[in-house]
Amino acid sequence: MVAPHPINLNADIGEGFDDAPLIALVSSVSIACGGHTGDHESMKRACRMALERGVTIGAHPSFRDRENYGRRPLEVDPAALRSQIAAQVQRLADAAAETGSIVSHVKPHGALYNMAAVRRDYADAIAETMAGLDPRMVLLAPPGSMMEEAARACDIPFVAEGFADRAYAPDGTLMPRSETGAVLSDPQAAAAQALLLAQKGQVVTAQGPIAVPCRSLCVHGDEPHAQSVAMAVREALLKAGLRIVSLPELAQARSA
């Protein structure tokens, strides 16, 4: 008998919302760690809830830009960026240690995520920081991005991510949030996109289907329909016979 196809289901949390219902539906969470939002208490609370649910945790570092929620593109010297990322990941690691958990992955947030996908200097800053802190941590980022290349160069685990609740542009980037339809708030639409990503590595854009080969699917925790979207996505994946696993388990299986 063929084993069920593994997929990771992740959510971004610790951003000022009720995360408990969402944590119960996913297998990994990325926790805001002070760059765009979050403090020691919010990190510790998120770590504790994840630990209670057996959900692995990761850091969700961003540009140090609380005013714009980390969504404004910034020019930052790579050395300064390394320092910012290291401080945020370490801050979460300290909070995690207080709850008896560990940081097992890193997923950049917002503008840093988008810019590091196409800028090698930012991608290197992220991967090199991770390698220096703990080379076992998984980098979660877009497939075919500069971050994937940087992870390979630093010999750290990489898992490609797709978005269940965001619309894609024909070039494979996410549609800007300012555009109508950029966020898939309808649970069934998100579930359909998640299945297409998980089973075929594709999404449908305004100009037709494009390839987005990924092994992890994200649901954003800062959207009002996050819980219902995550529930629909989870149910669709399980009904299709996929096995929802943590990021460390998925990365280990891919490297075996």
Q: How confident is the model over 57-103, as pLDDT tens digits?
A: 999 999 999 999 999 999 999 999 999 999 999 999 999 999 999 99
Contact of 139 with 106, CB cutoff 8 Å: yes
Strand ranges (DSSP E) for 26-149?
28-32, 56-60, 103-106, 138-141
pLDDT at residue 234 in the model? 98
CATH of the domain at 34: 3.20.20.370
181 is a domain residue: yes
92 is a domain residue: yes
pTM of the model: 0.95
198 is a domain residue: yes
Alpha carbons 183 and 166: distance in angstroms, whole number: 5
1 is a domain residue: no
Alpha carbons 147 and 125: distance in angstroms, whole number: 10
Alpha carbons 81 and 246: distance in angstroms, whole number: 28
Q: Residue 1 pLDDT more than 50?
A: no
How many structural domains are present in the chain?
A: 1
Specify whether the backbone of 172 is left (phi greater than 0), alpha (psi in -120 to 50) or beta.
left
212 lies in which domain range?
6-255
171 is a domain residue: yes
Alpha carbons 159 and 9: distance in angstroms, whole number: 12
Contact of 133 with 90, CB cutoff 8 Å: yes
Alpha carbons 57 and 48: distance in angstroms, whole number: 10
Q: How confident is the model over 201-240, as pLDDT tens digits?
A: 999 999 999 999 999 999 998 887 899 999 999 999 999 9
